[in-house]
């Protein structure tokens, strides 16, 4: 008996859907891209329960005929390409003809659509790939697609969806990727009947302002323009002034109207800032590339955002030079105001002039053999050191069964303070303790203990502080607000885009509140912490880092002793919770070797 048979379309579609549609955000991307391809100038996204209950996209685009509306949900049905040749000159967002077929395989879909030339529109209902009804209807020109109960027939997938807040953040991030590059299209985002974003038509800069600007000071004032036109590529956009670098930068690349990730080009941007940024801070940027579509390959996996360029090394050079030129020009203006903490290394005035002079024609000075990674040995040597640190480090005792680290009580030792390190003799040699990291470990343990107990000490602020947040930050804050209360924050939503803070953890310095909260949000977002206990740890860590004594501060003898005592009482003290070395030893042998003994 023959055993091979073709799968029914509904099953094949469901399998394909597994790849294309992973979460409500992928649905949003596909539907909004379709609206853009249909020439819409006004697009509304309306979600309920972060798209779990429903996700609706309404556009004023071309609409579809009765037959096309039906065809659109078939697999490999597309109006955008006709032959393989067309793949090399794509100017539309979609082309695979997979999205609608995939969506209708795993949800209940209702479409209302009408073309301008038609008197009546058509209403089509499909559930799990089965057409349930199609009938004429009255509706405006354009397309209105509602996707209900996503994954209703794939319970495993539905279960895998994260909390509503996380999914809503994913939706907003996907939305940002699109709206930032289509400023000439009007967008609205509504979640559970609340308008979260309303974006009028404008320039790219106005769109960035509308998305990320909050309150009184213009967000886009933090940026300088970049622009270059070469035969290979045109680049334009905005890069953050060095002193506005922060821990939570917005970094976006777009190519031909499409968001992309590109770690190699990211490296080019960072290289342009070399020497201008303090350690952990990063610049924000919004960079738009325009390139002949034949020189890029977007025909990769539908959910991937990486794009291959034919001549990446040359583009790297052009991008680097362009960003550097703009930063150079900016350096010449005298109105610099570095009122932030931390050292920012700026080129000397004489070098600045040189810089800007040599970058007036950025696009002609590239070296095709240049390999950025072989030159930026700053990062590689750091990696090298870390690699060896593991093997060089003498074993420090970890628990009580091992011999104690110190021959005498810590209260009998006076720690020597040197550049943020506490130095004390120990059984193995000279012990070096990074003071800030040591205190971070101690505080982290205190904060996690408070969280376990359910209440941390709080200090009331004389005047509540109102802090503005972006929509996705608001969503994240709502998720973690209970946990922030547990560590001592007293906070209430104040308006659609702000929180009022009336109390903080007792250890926190009042002027650091906005920074500390932003750092917490950033750490959670960066590490993708999703479960409650995960983000509680992140809150504790972020707070500990922000409130720990800085390395520059000199301590009294008692303070230094107390810190060491607290540190060595911890169950683990060698590394901070995020893996940074706290304690290091120069062994007696190493010291002897230095003296050829
Ligand atoms: P693709 O976008 O890759 O062509 P889709 O499955 O996303 O595949 O859509 C199939 C087809 O349905 C599109 O090629 C387009 O002709 C039509 N279509 C989808 N959405 C819309 C819309 N909002 N307005 C007009 N036509 C649409
Ligand atoms: Mg599409």
Measure 59 CA to ligand 2 centroid, in angstroms: 14
What is the pLDDT at residue 334?
38
Q: What order do you get walking across the sheet with 108-114 strand by strand?
A: 130-137, 121-127, 108-114, 142-148, 54-59, 42-48, 186-191, 194-199
Q: So what's the pLDDT on residue 338?
A: 37
Atom of ligand 1 nearest to the CA of 98: 6
Q: Over the chain, what is the mean pLDDT?
A: 82
Q: What integer pLDDT is reported at residue 24 of this predicted model?
A: 95
Give the pLDDT of residue 205.
Answer: 95
The bound ligand whose nearest atom lies closest to the alpha carbon of 96 is 1
Write the DSSP assignment of 232-298 as a string of letters: SEEEEEEEE-GGG-BSS--EEEEETTEEEB-HHHHHHHHHHTTTTS-TT-B--EEEEEEE-GGGEE-
* Residue 145 alpha carbon, nearest atom of ligand 1: 23
Which of the residue ranges 8-17, 130-139, 494-503 would you say has the lowest mean pLDDT? 8-17
Ligand 1: residues with CB < 6 A are 30, 34-35, 37-38, 59, 61-64, 72, 77-80, 94-101, 143
In this prediction the pTM is 0.64
Q: At residue 379, does pLDDT exceed 60?
A: no
161 or 365: which leads in pLDDT? 161
Q: Is residue 45 very low, low, confident or very high in pLDDT (cuts 50, 70, 90)?
A: very high
Q: Are 83 and 91 in contact (CB under 8 A)?
A: no
User: Rounded to an integer, what distance in angstroms lies between the CA atom of residue 168 and that of residue 165?
Assistant: 5
Residue 324's nearest CA partner among 279, 285, 382, 377 is 285
Confidence of residue 375 (pLDDT cuts 50, 70, 90): very low
Q: How far is the CA of 14 from the centre of ligand 2 (A)?
A: 17
Residues 570-581 pLDDT 10s: 878 888 888 888
Share of the chain above pLDDT 70, in %: 83
**Residue 331: what pLDDT?**
61
> Over 50: is that where the pLDDT of 44 sits?
yes
Q: What's the distance, Cα to Cα, between the start and end of the chain in Å?
A: 85
The protein residue whose alpha carbon is closest to atom 13 in ligand 1 is 78
**pLDDT for residue 215 is more than 80:** no
For residue 516, pLDDT beyond 80: yes
Q: For residue 551, what pLDDT is reported?
A: 84
- Looking at per-residue pLDDT, the higher value among 466 and 403 belongs to 466
Residue 494 CA, ligand 1 centroid: distance in Å: 41
What's the CA-to-centroid distance between 149 and ligand 2, angstroms?
20
Probe residue for ligand 1, chosen from 72, 101, 122 as the CB with the greatest number of ligand atoms within 8 Å: 72
- Span 89-94, mean pLDDT? 71
Handedness of CA 271, 273, 274, 279 (dihedral sign): negative
Least confident of 67-81, 267-281, 405-419, 490-504: 405-419
The predicted pLDDT at position 357 comes to: 33
Q: Name the residue at shortest CA distance from atom 12 of ligand 1.
A: 72
Q: How far away, in angstroms, is 38 Cα from ligand 2 center? A: 10
Q: Whose CA is nearest to atom 23 of ligand 1?
A: 35
For residue 78, how far is its CA from the centre of ligand 1 (angstroms)?
6
Give the integer Cα–Cα distance in Å for 204 and 238.
10
163 Cα: distance to centroid of ligand 2 (angstroms): 27
- What pLDDT, on a 0 to 100 scale, did the predictor assign at position 71? 94
Separation of 99 CA from ligand 2 center, angstroms? Answer: 5
Mutate to test the pocket of ligand 1, among 13, 34, 36, 78 (most ligand atoms within 8 A of CB): 34
Answer whether residue 26 shows pLDDT above 90: yes
> Taking 50 as the threshold, does the pLDDT of residue 324 lie above it?
yes
364 compared with 497, residue with greater pLDDT: 497
Res. 458 pLDDT band, cuts 50 70 90:
confident
Of the candidate ranges 243-247, 273-277, 392-396, 546-550, the one whose mean pLDDT is the lowest: 392-396
Residue with the bigger pLDDT between 550 and 217: it is 550
**Residues contacting residue 319 through CB under 8 Å, at least 6 positions apart:** 235, 265, 268, 269, 272, 287
Q: Can you give the pLDDT at residue 89?
A: 66
Most confident among 362-371, 465-474, 527-536 (mean pLDDT): 465-474
User: Atom 17 (ligand 1): residue with closest C-alpha?
Assistant: 72
Q: What is the pLDDT of residue 395?
A: 54
Tell me the average pLDDT across 356-371.
39
Candidate from 79-93, 285-299, 555-569 with smallest mean pLDDT: 79-93
Answer with the residue of higher pLDDT: 382 or 471.
Answer: 471
Residues in the chain: 597
Least confident of 62-76, 180-194, 321-335: 321-335
Dist CA 557 CA 411 (whole Å): 9
What atom of ligand 1 comes closest to residue 92's alpha carbon? Answer: 2
* 302-315 pLDDT, tens digit each: 666 778 888 888 99
pLDDT value at 94 more than 80:
no
Ligand 1 pocket mutation pick from 99, 100, 104, 129 by most atoms within 8 angstroms of CB:
100
Ligand nearest to the CA of 44: 1
- Ligand 1: which atom is nearest the Cα of residue 73? 6
pLDDT digits (tens, 9 = 90+) for 46-62: 999 999 999 999 999 99
220-237 confidence digits (pLDDT tens): 999 999 999 998 899 999
CB 259 within 8 A of CB 297: no
Q: Does position 154 have pLDDT exceeding 60, yes or no?
A: yes
Question: For residue 137, what pLDDT band results from cuts at 50, 70 and 90?
Answer: very high
The per-residue pLDDT for 90 is 67
Q: How confident is the model at residue 382 (pLDDT cuts 50, 70, 90)?
A: very low
* Centroid of ligand 1 to alpha carbon of 153 (angstroms): 23
**CA 143/CA 68 separation, integer angstroms:** 12
> Residue 316: its pLDDT value, please?
93
Ligand 1 center to residue 34 CA distance, Å?
Answer: 5
What is the pLDDT, as a whole number, of residue 404? 66
- Mean pLDDT value across residues 490-513: 86
- Count of CB atoms within 10 A of residue 543's CB? 30
Helix (H) or strand (E) holding 445: helix 435-453
Identify which has the larger pLDDT, 395 or 377.
Answer: 395
Ligand nearest to the CA of 113: 1
Predicted pLDDT at 87: 65
């Amino acid at each position: 008996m023959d055993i091979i048979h073709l799968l029914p379309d509904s099953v094949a579609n469901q399998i394909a859907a597994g790849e294309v549609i992973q979460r409500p955000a992928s649905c949003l991307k596909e539907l909004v891209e379709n609206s853009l391809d249909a020439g819409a100038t006004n697009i509304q996204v309306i979600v309920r329960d972060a798209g779990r209950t429903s996700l609706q996209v309404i556009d004023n685009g071309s609409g579809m005929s009765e037959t096309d509306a039906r065809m659109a949900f078939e697999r490999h049905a597309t109006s955008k390409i006709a032959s393989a040749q067309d793949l090399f000159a794509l100017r539309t967002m979609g082309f695979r003809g997979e999205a609608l077929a995939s969506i209708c395989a795993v949800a209940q879909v209702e479409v209302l659509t009408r073309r301008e030339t038609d008197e009546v529109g058509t209403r089509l209902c499909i559930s799990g790939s089965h057409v349930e009804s199609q009938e004429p209807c009255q509706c405006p020109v354009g397309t209105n697609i509602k996707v209900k109960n996503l994954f209703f027939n794939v319970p495993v997938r539905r279960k895998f969806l994260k909390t509503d807040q996380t999914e809503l953040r994913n939706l907003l991030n996907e939305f940002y990727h699109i709206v930032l590059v289509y400023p000439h299209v009007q967008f609205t985002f509504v979640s559970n009947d609340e308008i979260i974003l309303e974006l009028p038509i404008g320039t790219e800069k106005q769109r960035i302002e509308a998305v990320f600007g909050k309150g009184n000071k213009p967000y886009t004032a933090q940026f300088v323009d970049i622009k270059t036109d070469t035969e290979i590529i045109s680049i334009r956009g905005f890069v953050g002034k060095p002193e506005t670098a922060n821990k939570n930068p917005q970094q976006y690349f777009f190519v031909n109207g499409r968001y992309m990730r590109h770690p190699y080009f990211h490296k080019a941007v960072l290289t342009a800032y070399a020497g201008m940024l303090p350690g952990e801070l990063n610049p924000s940027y919004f960079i738009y590339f325009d390139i002949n579509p034949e020189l890029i390959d977007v025909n990769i996996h539908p959910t991937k955002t990486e794009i291959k360029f034919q001549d990446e090394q040359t583009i790297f050079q052009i991008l680097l030079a362009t960003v550097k030129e703009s930063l150079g020009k900016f350096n010449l203006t005298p109105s610099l105001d570095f009122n932030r903490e931390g050292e920012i290394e700026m080129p000397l005035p004489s070098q600045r002039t040189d810089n800007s002079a040599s970058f007036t024609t950025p696009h002609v000075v590239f070296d095709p053999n240049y390999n950025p990674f072989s030159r930026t040995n700053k990062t590689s040597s750091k990696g090298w050191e870390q690699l060896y640190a593991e093997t060089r480090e003498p074993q420090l005792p970890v628990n009580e069964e091992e011999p104690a680290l110190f021959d005498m009580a810590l209260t009998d030792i006076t720690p020597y303070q040197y550049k943020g390190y506490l130095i004390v003799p120990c059984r193995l040699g000279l012990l070096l303790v990074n003071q800030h990291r040591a205190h971070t470990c101690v505080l982290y343990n205190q904060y996690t203990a408070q969280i376990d107990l359910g209440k941390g000490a709080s200090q009331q602020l004389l005047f509540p502080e109102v802090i503005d947040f972006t929509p996705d930050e608001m969503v994240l804050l709502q998720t973690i607000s209970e946990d922030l209360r547990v560590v001592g924050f007293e906070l209430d939503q104040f308006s659609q885009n702000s929180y009022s803070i009336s109390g903080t953890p007792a250890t926190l310095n009042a002027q650091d509140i906005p920074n500390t909260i932003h750092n917490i949000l950033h750490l959670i977002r960066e590490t993708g912490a999703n479960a409650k206990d995960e983000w509680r740890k992140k809150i504790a860590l972020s707070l500990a880092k922000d409130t720990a004594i800085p390395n520059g501060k000199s301590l009294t003898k008692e303070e230094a002793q107390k810190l060491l005592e607290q540190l060595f009482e911890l169950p683990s003290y060698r590394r901070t919770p995020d893996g940074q070395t706290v304690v290091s030893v120069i062994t007696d042998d190493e010291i002897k070797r230095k003296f050829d003994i």
